[in-house]
């Protein structure tokens, strides 16, 4: 169930054209409904209750449209005595019954990835997004009310707003590869923040709060700075209207190591439970398997939980000197008896897929990992409908090298876990958005910076758009409330030790799947974009002035940047193609041809 759109307040008939623009997300059918003071629309990718789970869904006097999955729907029905009251097997129906009993408090019971609009029997209308921001939701307030949708393109298709670039956000994209906070690259359009729950009355947001993706540190004020409800800027200081961040439980500020066997047993139980609920589907599911330990951990648990071989897809690169982890992925696949399928990514794929990815990412991220993700989704389409991935393992268990560098003293090469090469004003905005909860350890502060910034606005955006372009649903078992409750308060030494990040996860994998070689040096994941761009750099540089947004933002600097070997070429090329498609209305093919003719 993978696209929602609608309007709260006003009389504009916008929901129909909005949802039709999102049909790629829900290829199984579209339904719209007009209600007093509201329009709701849903494009469905059927995953749970294939016959009865259509939306808008009515129950207990309320109605909901939702994108994503509520994984604990069976537990909510069981624990609250709802089984005899449910008329469908939809994962969203228990929420309607609980809202009728508890009101707003029902949202805190959700375990899953979701973006939803609920109108209760009390007449109150709500928009909500999951705490990690796995599923997207965009909103805009206008004279006719408040419109919402799963992708920005819906607002343009309905004529609700013009395609006007926010230049400051575009500069963030060029410096960071993503944009910060709730502001998008389009003026007047913002994201609902991860974990944000807002009430809408007469087409205006009147109140709201945010659920934290990690539990607060017990006995301390741990709320990081949050944007005011309705603020469209990249960040905002706390004030009387600032939403509070809440979580379902509190944890000690620093969980000791305890007995290692007990900690590993607890980790095993938590991860197995998360993978089990993330497999809930009435359609084929599998995983994307790299050579890293995160996807190997997911694969290990899926193999344990399934009687048949689990289908796994791996992408490798055909380019001289490219880092390629297919051999390691194959070793894990054979050890776990997976149905392993590999796909190659070469220069022809790069030029073919680049404009398609730029089209899919109407809210852009210039992360080159979008390219193999798109190719994997292309390969999996027709075989799988649900794909589990390893996103979130690094952020929750302390895996990135920048975390380890941040813990070293300066005389040993330590440096803050911050973006490098960003302009001073953008780095200042990043620091503001990445401010850690009070009481966090230095490692937790570095983890939180990623959880608050690039995880929702880069990694999860990439996963959502690249898979939904092919009618696939991506699921992330590490980004789960139960996993976060275990991992976040772990002692730093259980995350980083002896030069290794994700120490406790490696220790677990050492026992659970030795073939994953968890202590081996990681090759890294680098798409060889520079190899493919370099031969055409001069032609691209000559054509960049044709793109109005590039010309306005960078002037002569754009050509010089494209002619200078290095990492700066790819974001600029991507942005130029993106701008031609989403600002100037070019087709993906024409956009690439204008920048890089054959």
- Across the chain, mean pLDDT equals 92
Question: What is the rounded CA–CA span in Å between residue 256 and residue 341?
Answer: 41
- CA 397 distance to own-chain centroid: 18
Question: What is the rounded CA–CA span in Å between residue 242 and residue 386?
Answer: 36
Tokens for 250, please give them.
């509190």
- Cβ atoms of 30 and 23 within 8 Å: the answer is yes
Q: What local confidence, expressed as pLDDT, does residue 247 receive?
A: 42
**What confidence tier does 129 reach under pLDDT thresholds 50, 70, 90?**
very high
In the chain, the percentage of residues whose pLDDT exceeds 70 is: 92
pLDDT (tens digit per residue) in 505-515? 999 999 999 99
- Report the candidate in 451, 502, 475 with the shortest Cα–Cα distance to residue 288: 475
- Report the candidate in 317, 346, 341 with the shortest Cα–Cα distance to residue 329: 341
In the chain, what are the domains? Answer: 3-211+216-246 (3.60.20.10), 260-397+454-516 (3.40.50.620), 401-452 (no CATH), 529-595 (no CATH)
Reported as type and span, the H/E element at residue 551 is helix 548-554
Q: What local confidence, expressed as pLDDT, does residue 409 receive?
A: 87
**Omega into 189 within 30° of 0, i.e. cis?**
no
Question: What is the rounded CA–CA span in Å between residue 192 and residue 205?
Answer: 11
| Minimum mean pLDDT range among 16-25, 313-322, 424-433, 522-531 | 522-531
3-state secondary structure at position 1 = coil
Q: What is the pairing mode between strands 145-149 and 196-201? A: unpaired
Q: What local confidence, expressed as pLDDT, does residue 222 receive?
A: 40
Tokens for 384, please give them.
């799988």
**What confidence tier does 250 reach under pLDDT thresholds 50, 70, 90?**
very low
- Report the candidate in 345, 361, 351 with the shortest Cα–Cα distance to residue 597: 351
Question: What is the rounded CA–CA span in Å between residue 23 and residue 5?
Answer: 11
> Virtual CA dihedral for 364, 366, 371, 372, nearest 10 degrees?
-110
Tokens for 14, please give them.
């916008």
Tokens for 273, please give them.
């439970």
Question: What is the rounded CA–CA span in Å between residue 112 and residue 462?
Answer: 18
| Minimum mean pLDDT range among 179-188, 221-230, 395-404 | 221-230
For residue 28, the tally of other CB atoms under 10 A from its CB is 16
- How many residues are present in the chain? 598
3-state secondary structure at position 100 = helix
pLDDT at residue 496 tops 80: yes
Question: What is the rounded CA–CA span in Å between residue 350 and residue 368?
Answer: 10
pLDDT (tens digit per residue) in 275-291? 999 999 999 999 999 98
Around 264, how many Cα atoms within 13 Å sit in the side-chain half-sphere?
Answer: 13
- Cβ atoms of 230 and 141 within 8 Å: the answer is yes
pLDDT (tens digit per residue) in 73-126? 999 999 999 989 999 999 999 999 999 999 999 999 999 999 999 999 999 999
Q: What local confidence, expressed as pLDDT, does residue 257 receive?
A: 66
User: Which residue's structure tokens are 């409908």?
Assistant: 385
Show Cβ contacts of residue 308 under 8 Å, excluding neighbours closer than 6 positions. none
Torsions phi, psi of 259, nearest 5?
-80, 125
Helices (H), 7-59: 15-20
Question: What is the rounded CA–CA span in Å between residue 94 and residue 140?
Answer: 29
pLDDT at residue 522 tops 90: no
pLDDT (tens digit per residue) in 320-353? 777 788 999 999 999 999 999 999 999 999 999 9
Q: What local confidence, expressed as pLDDT, does residue 598 receive?
A: 79
3-state secondary structure at position 453 = coil
3-state secondary structure at position 462 = helix
Dihedral-angle region of residue 218 (phi above 0 means left; psi in -120 to 50 means alpha; beta otherwise): beta
Reported as type and span, the H/E element at residue 115 is strand 112-119
Q: What local confidence, expressed as pLDDT, does residue 521 receive?
A: 81
Show Cβ contacts of residue 416 under 8 Å, excluding neighbours closer than 6 positions. 406
- CA 595 distance to own-chain centroid: 29
Question: What is the rounded CA–CA span in Å between residue 290 and residue 486?
Answer: 24
Question: What is the rounded CA–CA span in Å between residue 176 and residue 410?
Answer: 24
Question: What is the rounded CA–CA span in Å between residue 551 and residue 576?
Answer: 10
């Amino acid at each position: 169930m993978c696209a929602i759109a609608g309007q709260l307040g006003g009389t504009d008939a916008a929901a129909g054209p909005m949802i039709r623009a999102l049909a790629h997300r829900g290829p199984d059918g579209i339904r719209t409904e007009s209600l007093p003071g509201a329009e709701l629309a849903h494009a469905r990718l059927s995953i749970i209750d294939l016959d009865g789970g259509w939306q808008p869904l009515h129950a207990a006097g309320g109605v909901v449209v939702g994108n994503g999955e509520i994984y604990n729907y069976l537990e909510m029905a069981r624990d609250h005595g709802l089984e005899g009251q449910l008329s469908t097997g939809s994962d969203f129906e228990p929420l309607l019954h609980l809202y009728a009993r508890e009101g707003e408090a029902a949202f805190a019971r959700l375990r899953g990835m979701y973006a939803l609009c609920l109108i209760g029997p009390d007449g109150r209308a709500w928009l909500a997004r999951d705490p990690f921001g796995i599923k997207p939701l965009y909103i805009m307030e206008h004279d006719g009310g408040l419109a919402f949708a799963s992708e920005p393109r819906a607002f343009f298709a309905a004529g609700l707003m013009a395609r006007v670039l926010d230049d400051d956000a575009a500069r963030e994209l060029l410096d960071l590869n993503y944009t910060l906070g709730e502001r998008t690259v389009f003026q007047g359009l913002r994201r609902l923040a991860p974990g944000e729950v807002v009430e809408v009355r007469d087409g205006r947001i009147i109140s709201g709060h945010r659920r934290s993706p990690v539990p607060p540190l017990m006995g301390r004020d741990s709320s990081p700075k949050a944007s005011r409800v309705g603020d469209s800027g990249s960040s905002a200081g706390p004030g009387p209207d600032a939403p509070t961040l809440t979580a379902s439980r509190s944890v000690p500020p620093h969980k000791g190591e305890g007995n290692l066997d007990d900690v590993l047993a607890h980790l095993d139980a938590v991860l197995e439970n998360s993978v089990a609920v993330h497999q809930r589907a009435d359609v084929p599911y599998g995983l994307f398997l790299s050579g890293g330990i995160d996807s190997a951990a997911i694969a290990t648990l899926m193999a344990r939980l399934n009687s048949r071989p689990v289908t796994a897809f791996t992408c490798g690169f055909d380019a001289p000197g490219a880092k390629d982890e297919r051999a390691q992925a194959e070793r894990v696949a054979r050890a776990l008896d997976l149905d392993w399928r590999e796909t190659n990514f070469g220069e022809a794929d790069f030029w073919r897929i680049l404009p398609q990815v730029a089209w899919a990412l109407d809210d852009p991220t210039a992360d080159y990992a979008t390219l193999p993700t798109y190719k994997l989704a292309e390969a999996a389409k027709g075989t799988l409908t649900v794909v589990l991935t390893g996103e979130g393992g690094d952020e929750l268990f302390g895996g990135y090298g920048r975390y380890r560098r941040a813990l070293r003293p300066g005389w040993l090469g330590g440096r803050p876990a911050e973006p490098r090469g960003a302009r001073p004003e953008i780095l200042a905005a990043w620091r503001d958005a990445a401010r850690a909860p009070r009481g966090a350890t230095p490692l937790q502060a570095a983890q939180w910076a990623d959880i608050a910034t690039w995880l929702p606005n880069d990694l999860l955006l990439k996963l959502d758009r690249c898979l939904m372009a092919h009618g696939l649903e991506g699921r992330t078992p590490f980004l789960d409330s139960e996993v976060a409750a275990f991992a976040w308060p772990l002692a730093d030494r259980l995350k980083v030790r002896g030069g290794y990040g994700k120490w406790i996860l490696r220790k677990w994998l050492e026992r659970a799947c030795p073939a994953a070689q968890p202590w081996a040096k990681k090759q890294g994941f680098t798409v060889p974009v520079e190899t493919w761009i370099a031969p055409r750099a001069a032609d691209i540089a000559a054509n960049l002035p044709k793109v109005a947004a590039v010309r306005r933002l960078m002037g002569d600097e754009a050509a010089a940047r494209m002619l200078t070997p290095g990492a700066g070429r790819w974001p600029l090329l991507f942005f130029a193609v993106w701008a031609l498609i989403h600002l100037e209305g070019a087709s993906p093919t024409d956009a690439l041809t204008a920048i890089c003719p054959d």
